């Protein structure tokens, strides 16, 4: 009762990194409340996951292991999760913000009549109350949200906002198997096909690294420089608005207020001055590297690393430097 | 093939958004209210279903009186009917409350598919769609990028980490759509002038048979207590390397050692 | 007096702006550079109903103030597209709507609304420009036909148009009462199209000569009646001027918005340009005049829409808006400094586009004559 639960995200027999991040955060919440941290695993053939979960901080592991849960189908997973939550009444359930996490959690919340906050960037307690912080208005504002009532409180947490829990080798947890009752449960979805998508071009909004060009590139042909750097980095290519307005690149390259909002780990801004309209689309990036020959360009006020120099000289050499660094790694 | 589209009116986030100094919300002065972009894609998909299979497209919206403009945009795109659920008692409702109200209204209609945008750009929550499916007692799939209707079932595509999956979902069902599903049509001038004359039905909680304790602020399980502007980024280091080679080395080192992406 | 935009006009404005920004703006510089006609955009404008805005509401159209709103948005993105849209709506559609027979309307309006075909207007001759009464193009009755001969100059959209309204002298009297208006399908035998003029501005929209050479058109293609041409031309030009005023407002807005965006980013002497009072005052003045131009345009459109006399107001709007656009574009270039004169910079495109708004649909001097004449006749300001 009153436990902190983490819904485990696993694939191909492994616990995914997002789960370790939630275990880390879950641990600190559990300690603040003097409660247990429990990992809930839904799937089939999942017992071997108990051990890594225990080693990463779970006090208890609940296994709902059943052929009906072999692959994600929302009605099957919602049923199992809701049964487990109703039986054990945790105080909070942390769910990773994956495609399926976002598909499942609101349905579970509706079934339970529970409070739910998505895109959580921070989570803490104020007395007895669970609080969350999340971006709103396409990242133009930040909302502080209070969970009301007794719980369970469901938080769907963004990746990479909490550090992953450390591993304590040999640590053990209480492992319990959940008996899920399937009579009368309608599961009206069937997986027809699953495709590994090897895209030549990573979509901008999903890329970990984005290489982006602005007016400083002077013309459409120079975007080839960025494509080369992006290929070397496995990055996506974007642009600020002026290249789109000048017809150098198609509209779907545009990052900014009238284009896409991206939040990669690294955003490399090449020949971009850093107008507010552009910053609005990429200020969520973890690291910003800027190359611009104008030392007064506003982009340098937000760059983690700003380089004043000629992009036409630097970018080709950067391609080489990246190649060498990768070879050594 | 009757399709219901749930829409929301939101401030245009391409315009500046300012948080009130007391943090109680955003400044409403000068906001441009529009139909949520993701819902435009949902309306477009519904219109395409109608073009292919016949039937009607009904738009349902929970909002204040000004939300009729968003409904009119959908009507101008070609939707057949619009409905606004509007009640001061819904002030302070959470997403489940909104979903309950929508479910009640939709249950009175004859429908095969409910479409919503994947999320609304004001709170970016993405909760109402699946919650609505739960309250309607039907299956759902979120963030679909493709939709085809067959006999008694729909075939949808959605992106998941590392790939895409194709699902067959029995109808009736609720789907939330990703922006990549289609390119929405612009409302035409004849459409706009026709929409001007179309009647929009208005419903209150009482009309829906819902008590405030079921859908209003009393029923809410979350509340946004504060709004803040986004965190200001701090400037890092600005360097002026002697040579382009040095610049390249410094950047590569940063990518490897600080950002750890190499 | 209600200055609020009705809801449906707000939606139209939003739609026109979204379309212009997404479809026109990215191509505008290239179209200007390459002197290329935006065929695809014109077709899409047709699909949106924007190539025939003035159709009666019963058929899905809206009024002239809707036209002014839409023209401002389209012209803000691409002045050339704005010209094409303005000509088709106010110089071609409008006279057909007002003076055409049911049969003529049925034959031409649907195609001209679709964006698949556009129309043009042939009033100017080399020797009869501001003074159109001196025209030499002749129409001679010949059995069941009229035979047209002559040379029309500076025909906007002449090369791409399918349909022309041609003004020709048909009566044996001198002056305005001898002129009639004719509806000519350009693919008829005897219509020669001259080469495109090499303009310096609004290059996406072409101008050329149209030369009917013994071009025979059916008697039914006379518009309204013999000797009515000049009257049709003058009353149509009023609406045309309102269209150009709206276009000028769009160009002025483009100049202001782009210069303002630039001034917010560009730093010199340790501050952004917009921090300097000299620059700030330019924007204040640009904004003030732009607001006034827009209001004058909407007032004229409002009168036009309600069938009230609007000659004076149309000239006032056109005069003020075009001079505002020219002045604002000039100021905009100043803000951009040296960069403003580069082809890369949109400021020079606005400068060139604004310049022609002071020339066509009647020069500023003609507008002053018209306004002064009304005042002399006892009309109010």
What does the domain layout of chain B look like in residue ranges? Answer: 3-219, 235-262
Instruction: Tell me what pLDDT residue B58 has.
Output: 98
Does the residue C155 lie in any domain?
Answer: yes
With beta carbons under 8 A apart, name residues in chain C contacting B191.
49, 60
Instruction: Tell me what pLDDT residue C60 has.
Output: 63
CA distance C27 to C34: 10
Tally the residues of chain C.
381
Instruction: Tell me what pLDDT residue A262 has.
Output: 84
CA distance A115 to A151: 7
Does the residue C254 lie in any domain?
Answer: yes
Domain of C269, CATH number, reads 1.20.140.10
CA C328 to chain centre: 19
Nearest CA-CA partner of A282 in B174, B230, C256, C239: B230
Instruction: Tell me what pLDDT residue A198 has.
Output: 60
Does the residue C1 lie in any domain?
Answer: no
Decide if B1 contacts B113 (C-beta within 8 A): yes
Task: Spell out the residues 6+ positions from residue A14 whose beta carbon is closer than 8 angstroms to its own.
Answer: none
Instruction: Tell me what pLDDT residue B187 has.
Output: 95
The number of C-alpha atoms within 13 Å of A284 and in the hemisphere containing its C-beta is 26
- Final residue in a domain of this structure, among C197, C229, C261: C229
CA distance A55 to B45: 47
pLDDT at C59 over 70: no
Around Cβ C271, how many Cβ atoms within 10 Å?
11
CA distance B16 to C52: 34
CA distance B260 to A266: 9
Same-domain pairing of A138 and A285: no
* pLDDT, average across residues C16-38: 91
Instruction: Tell me what pLDDT residue A200 has.
Output: 61
How distant is the Cα of B235 from the closest Cα of chain C, in angstroms?
A: 17
* pLDDT, average across residues B12-33: 89
Average model confidence (pLDDT) for chain C? 90
Instruction: Tell me what pLDDT residue A37 has.
Output: 98
Instruction: Tell me what pLDDT residue C204 has.
Output: 84
**Do C261 and A298 count as a contact with CB atoms less than 8 A apart?**
no
Same-domain pairing of C222 and C127: yes
Kindly state the tokens that stand for A109.
Answer: 């919340």
Instruction: Tell me what pLDDT residue A199 has.
Output: 58
Kindly state the tokens that stand for A158.
Answer: 């963004």
3-state secondary structure of C306: coil
Q: How far apart are the first and last CA of chain A?
A: 47
CA quadruple C57, C61, C64, C67: dihedral, nearest 10: 160
**Do A304 and B258 count as a contact with CB atoms less than 8 A apart?**
yes
Dihedrals phi, psi of A37, to nearest 5 degrees: -105, 125
* pLDDT, average across residues B50-57: 98
Does the residue C138 lie in any domain?
Answer: yes
State how far the alpha carbon of C144 is from the alpha carbons of C185, C216, C220, in Å: 17, 9, 9
Band of pLDDT at residue B233, cut at 50, 70 and 90? confident
Instruction: Tell me what pLDDT residue C37 has.
Output: 92
CB-based contact, B184 to chain C, within 8 Å: no
Pairing relationship of beta strands A189-196 and B163-170 according to DSSP bridges: antiparallel
CA distance A181 to A79: 9
CA distance B185 to B44: 7
Q: Which of residues 17-36 of B touch A (CB under 8 A)?
A: 17, 19, 26
Band of pLDDT at residue A11, cut at 50, 70 and 90? confident
Instruction: Tell me what pLDDT residue A108 has.
Output: 98
- Final residue in a domain of this structure, among C118, C139, C161: C118
Report the sign of the C-alpha dihedral through residues B219, B222, B224, B230, in that order: negative
Decide if B219 contacts B213 (C-beta within 8 A): yes
CA B163 to chain centre: 23
Instruction: Tell me what pLDDT residue A247 has.
Output: 81
CB-based contact, C19 to chain B, within 8 Å: yes
3-state secondary structure of C361: coil
Instruction: Tell me what pLDDT residue A291 has.
Output: 97
Does the residue A272 lie in any domain?
Answer: yes
Instruction: Tell me what pLDDT residue A140 has.
Output: 83
Band of pLDDT at residue C380, cut at 50, 70 and 90? low
- Final residue in a domain of this structure, among C87, C118, C149: C118
State how far the alpha carbon of A221 is from the alpha carbons of A72, A224, B48, C14, C359, in Å: 45, 6, 38, 34, 38
**Do A247 and C344 count as a contact with CB atoms less than 8 A apart?**
no
Domain that holds residue C268: 231-376
pLDDT digits (tens, 9 = 90+) for C150-176: 998 889 988 899 999 999 999 888 788
State how far the alpha carbon of B132 is from the alpha carbons of A195, A238, B138, B201, C217, in Å: 28, 36, 9, 20, 65
Average model confidence (pLDDT) for chain B? 94
Q: Which of A136, A265, A283 sits opposite B259 (nearest CB)?
A: A265
Task: Answer with the residue of higher pLDDT: B61 or C192.
Answer: B61
* pLDDT, average across residues A271-276: 88
CA-only gyration radius of chain A, Å: 23
Same-domain pairing of A44 and A152: yes
Instruction: Tell me what pLDDT residue A213 has.
Output: 97
Instruction: Tell me what pLDDT residue B140 has.
Output: 98
Instruction: Tell me what pLDDT residue C128 has.
Output: 75
Same-domain pairing of A172 and A219: no
Same-domain pairing of C41 and C153: no
Q: Is A119 exposed, middle or buried (0-12, 13-18, 19+ CB in 10 A)?
A: buried
- Chain position carrying tokens 């000569």: C209
Same-domain pairing of A224 and A115: no
- Residue of chain C minimizing CA distance to A296: C267
Domain of A27, CATH number, reads 3.40.50.620
Q: Which of A74, A193, A325 sits opposite B252 (nearest CB)?
A: A325
pTM of the model: 0.87
Task: Spell out the residues 6+ positions from residue A150 whose beta carbon is closer than 8 angstroms to its own.
Answer: none
Domain that holds residue A80: 4-177
- Chain position carrying tokens 């984005």: A210
Instruction: Tell me what pLDDT residue A329 has.
Output: 65
Instruction: Tell me what pLDDT residue B188 has.
Output: 92
Instruction: Using a pLDDT cut of 90, give the percent of chain C over it.
Output: 60
B135-139, C272-276, C277-281: which has the minimum mean pLDDT? Answer: C272-276
pLDDT at A275 over 90: no
Pairing relationship of beta strands A37-43 and A14-15 according to DSSP bridges: unpaired
Domain spanning B3-219: CATH superfamily: HUPs (3.40.50.620)
Instruction: Tell me what pLDDT residue C340 has.
Output: 84
CB pairs under 8 A between A and C: 30
CA distance B13 to A230: 29
pLDDT digits (tens, 9 = 90+) for A33-87: 999 999 999 999 999 999 999 999 999 999 999 999 999 999 999 999 999 999 9
Instruction: Tell me what pLDDT residue C262 has.
Output: 87
CA distance C318 to C361: 9
Instruction: Tell me what pLDDT residue B3 has.
Output: 98
Instruction: Tell me what pLDDT residue A99 has.
Output: 92
pLDDT digits (tens, 9 = 90+) for A189-216: 999 999 876 656 677 877 889 999 999 9
Same-domain pairing of C98 and C43: yes
Same-domain pairing of C267 and C183: no
Angle at A9 between CA A5 and CA A14, to 5 degrees: 120
Q: What are the DSSP E strand ranges found in B53-194?
A: 57-62, 81-85, 113-117, 140-149, 153-160, 163-170, 173-177
Instruction: Tell me what pLDDT residue C195 has.
Output: 79
Domain of A266, CATH number, reads 3.40.50.1220
Nearest CA-CA partner of C361 in C130, C158, C73, C160: C130
Instruction: Tell me what pLDDT residue A196 has.
Output: 77
Q: Which of residues 33-92 of B touch A (CB under 8 A)?
A: none
3-state secondary structure of B196: helix
Instruction: Tell me what pLDDT residue C381 has.
Output: 63
Kindly state the tokens that stand for C249.
Answer: 């407002």
- Residue of chain C minimizing CA distance to A295: C267
A218-227, A239-248, B125-134: which has the minimum mean pLDDT? Answer: A239-248
With beta carbons under 8 A apart, name residues in chain C contacting B74.
none
SS3 for chain A, per residue? CCCEEEECCEECCEECHHHHHHHHHHHHHHHHHCCCEEEEEEECCCHHHHHHHHHCCCCEEEEEECHHHCCCCHHHHHHHHHHHHHHHCCCEEEEECCHHHHHHHHHHHHHHCCEEEEEECEEEEECCEEEEEEEECCCCEEEEEEECCCCCEEEEECCCCCCCCCCCCCCCCEEEECCCCCCCCCCCEEEEEEEECCCCCCCCCCCCEEEEECHHHCCHHHHHHHHHHHHHHCCEEEECHHHHHCCCCCHHHEECCCCECCCCCEEEEECCCCCHHHHHHHCCCCEEEEEECCCCCHHHHCCCEEEECCHHHHHHHHHHHHHHHHHHC
Same-domain pairing of C237 and C351: yes
CA A288 to chain centre: 18
pLDDT at B230 over 90: no
- Final residue in a domain of this structure, among A177, A194, A229: A177
Same-domain pairing of A60 and A168: yes
Decide if C250 contacts C71 (C-beta within 8 A): yes
Does the residue A204 lie in any domain?
Answer: no
Decide if A63 contacts A157 (C-beta within 8 A): no
Band of pLDDT at residue A124, cut at 50, 70 and 90? very high
Same-domain pairing of C97 and C125: no
How distant is the Cα of C320 from the closest Cα of chain B, in angstroms?
A: 28
Instruction: Tell me what pLDDT residue A298 has.
Output: 86
Average model confidence (pLDDT) for chain A? 92
Kindly state the tokens that stand for B54.
Answer: 């016949």
Number of domains making up chain A: 2
- Could you tell me which chains touch chain A, where touching means 3 or more CB pairs under 8 A? B, C
Same-domain pairing of A172 and A77: yes
Q: Which of A251, A258, A273 sits opposite C265 (nearest CB)?
A: A273
* pLDDT, average across residues C214-238: 93
Instruction: Tell me what pLDDT residue B186 has.
Output: 95
Decide if C351 contacts C329 (C-beta within 8 A): yes
3-state secondary structure of B184: coil
pLDDT at A241 over 90: no
Q: How far apart are the first and last CA of chain B?
A: 51
pLDDT digits (tens, 9 = 90+) for A146-174: 999 998 999 999 887 898 999 999 999 99
pLDDT at C129 over 80: no
Pairing relationship of beta strands A153-157 and C271-272 according to DSSP bridges: unpaired
Number of domains making up chain C: 3
Question: Please, what's the b/e burial string for A233-271 (b: 16 or more CB within 10 A of its CB; e: otherwise)?
Answer: bebbbbbbbbbbbbbbbebebbbbbbbbbbbbbbbbbbb
**Do C265 and A258 count as a contact with CB atoms less than 8 A apart?**
no
pLDDT at B36 over 80: yes
Band of pLDDT at residue C18, cut at 50, 70 and 90? very high
Same-domain pairing of C247 and C355: yes
Angle at B202 between CA B199 and CA B208, to 5 degrees: 140
With beta carbons under 8 A apart, name residues in chain A contacting B13.
137-138, 140, 257
pLDDT at C127 over 80: no
Around Cβ B183, how many Cβ atoms within 10 Å?
10
CA distance C349 to C355: 10
3-state secondary structure of C156: strand
Band of pLDDT at residue B13, cut at 50, 70 and 90? confident
A144-158, A232-246, C58-72: which has the minimum mean pLDDT? Answer: C58-72
């Amino acid at each position: 009762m009153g436990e902190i639960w983490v819904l485990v995200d696993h694939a191909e027999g492994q616990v995914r990194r997002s789960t370790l991040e939630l275990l880390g955060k879950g641990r600190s919440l559990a300690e603040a409340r003097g409660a247990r941290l429990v990992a809930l695993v839904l799937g089939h053939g999942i017992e071997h996951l108990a051990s890594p979960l225990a080693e990463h901080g779970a006090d208890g592991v609940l296994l709902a292991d059943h052929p009906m849960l072999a692959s994600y189908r929302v009605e099957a997973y919602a049923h199992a999760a809701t049964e487990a939550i109703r039986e054990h009444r945790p105080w909070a359930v942390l769910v990773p913000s994956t495609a399926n996490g976002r598909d499942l959690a609101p349905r579970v919340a509706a079934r339970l009549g529970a409070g739910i906050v998505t895109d959580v960037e921070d989570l803490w307690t104020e007395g007895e109350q669970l609080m969350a912080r999340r971006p709103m208005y396409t990242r133009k504002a930040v909302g502080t949200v209070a969970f009301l009532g007794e719980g369970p409180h469901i938080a769907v947490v963004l990746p990479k906002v909490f550090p992953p829990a450390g591993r304590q080798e040999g640590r053990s947890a209480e492992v319990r198997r959940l008996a899920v009752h399937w009579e009368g449960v309608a599961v009206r979805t069937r997986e027809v096909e699953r495709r590994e998508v090897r895209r030549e071009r990573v979509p901008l909004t999903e890329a970990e690294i984005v290489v982006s060009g602005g007016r400083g590139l002077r013309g459409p042909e120079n975007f080839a420089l960025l494509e080369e750097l992006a290929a070397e980095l496995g990055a996506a290519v974007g642009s600020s608005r002026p290249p789109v307005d000048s017809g150098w690149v198609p509209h779907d390259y545009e990052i900014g207020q009238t284009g896409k909002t991206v939040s990669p780990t690294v955003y490399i801004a090449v020949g971009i001055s850093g107008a507010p309209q552009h910053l609005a689309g990429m200020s969520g990036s973890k690291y910003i590297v800027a190359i611009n020959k104008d030392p007064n360009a506003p982009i340098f006020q937000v760059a983690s690393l700003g380089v004043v120099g000629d992009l036409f000289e630097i970018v080709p050499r950067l391609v080489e430097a990246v190649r060498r660094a990768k070879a050594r790694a | 093939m009757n399709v219901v589209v749930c829409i929301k009116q939101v401030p245009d986030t391409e315009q500046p958004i300012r948080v009130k100094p007391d943090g109680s919300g955003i400044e409403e002065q000068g906001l441009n209210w529009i139909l949520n972009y993701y819902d435009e894609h949902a309306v477009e998909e519904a219109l395409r279903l109608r073009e292919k299979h016949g039937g009607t497209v009904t738009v349902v919206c929970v909002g204040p009186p000004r939300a009729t403009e968003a409904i009119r945009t959908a009507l101008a795109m070609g939707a057949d009917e619009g409905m606004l659920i509007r009640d001061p008692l819904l002030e302070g409702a959470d997403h489940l409350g909104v979903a309950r109200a929508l479910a009640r209204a939709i249950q009175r209609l004859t429908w095969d598919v409910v479409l919503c945008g994947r999320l609304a750009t004001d709170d970016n929550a993405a909760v109402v769609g699946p919650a609505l499916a739960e309250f309607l007692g039907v299956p759902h799939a979120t963030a679909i990028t493709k939709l085809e209707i067959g006999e008694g079932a729909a075939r949808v595509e959605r992106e998941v980490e590392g790939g895409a999956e194709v699902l067959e979902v029995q109808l009736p069902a609720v789907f939330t759509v990703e922006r990549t599903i289609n390119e929405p049509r612009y409302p035409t001038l004849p459409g706009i002038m026709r929409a001007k004359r179309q009647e929009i039905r208005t419903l209150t909680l009482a009309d829906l048979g819902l008590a405030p304790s079921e859908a209003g602020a009393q029923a809410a399980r979350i509340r946004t207590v504060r709004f803040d502007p986004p965190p200001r980024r701090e400037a890092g280091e600005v360097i002026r390397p002697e040579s382009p080679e040095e610049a390249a080395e410094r950047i590569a080192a940063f990518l490897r050692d600080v950002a750890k992406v190499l | 007096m209600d200055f609020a935009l009705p809801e449906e006009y707000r939606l139209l404005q939003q739609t026109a702006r979204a379309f212009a920004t997404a479809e026109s703006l990215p191509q505008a510089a290239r179209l200007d550079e390459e002197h290329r006609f935006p065929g695809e955009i014109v077709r899409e404008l047709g699909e949106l109903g924007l190539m025939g805005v003035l159709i009666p509401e019963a058929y899905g159209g809206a009024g002239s103030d809707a036209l002014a709103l839409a023209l401002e948005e389209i012209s803000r993105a691409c002045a050339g597209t704005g010209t094409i849209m303005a000509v088709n709506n106010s110089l071609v559609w409008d006279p057909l709507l007002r003076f055409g027979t049911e049969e003529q309307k049925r034959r031409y309006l649907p195609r001209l609304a679709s964006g698949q075909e556009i129309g043009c207007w042939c009033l100017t001759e080399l020797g009869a420009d501001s003074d159109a009464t001196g025209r030499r193009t002749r129409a001679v009755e010949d059995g069941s036909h009229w035979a047209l001969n002559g040379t029309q100059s500076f025909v906007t959209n002449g090369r791409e148009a399918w349909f022309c309204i041609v003004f020709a002298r048909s009566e044996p009297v001198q002056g305005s009462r001898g002129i009639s208006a004719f509806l000519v399908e350009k693919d008829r035998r005897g219509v020669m199209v001259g080469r495109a003029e090499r303009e310096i501005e609004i290059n996406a929209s072409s101008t050329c000569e149209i030369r009917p050479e013994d071009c025979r058109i059916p008697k039914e293609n006379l518009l309204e009646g013999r000797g009515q041409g000049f009257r049709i031309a003058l009353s149509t030009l009023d609406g045309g001027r309102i269209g150009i005023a709206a276009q000028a407002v769009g160009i002025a807005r483009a100049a202001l918005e782009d210069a303002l965006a630039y001034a917010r980013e560009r730093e010199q002497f340790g501050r952004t340009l917009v921090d300097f009072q000299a620059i700030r005052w330019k924007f204040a003045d640009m904004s003030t005049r732009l607001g006034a131009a827009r209001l004058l345009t909407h007032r004229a459109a409002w009168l036009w829409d309600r069938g009230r006399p609007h000659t004076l107001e149309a000239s006032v709007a056109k005069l003020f808006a075009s001079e505002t656009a020219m002045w604002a574009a000039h100021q905009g270039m100043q803000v951009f400094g040296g960069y403003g004169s580069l082809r890369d910079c949109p400021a020079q495109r606005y400068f060139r586009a604004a310049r022609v708004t002071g020339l066509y649909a009647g020069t500023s001097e003609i507008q002053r004559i018209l306004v002064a004449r009304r005042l002399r006749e006892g009309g109010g300001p």
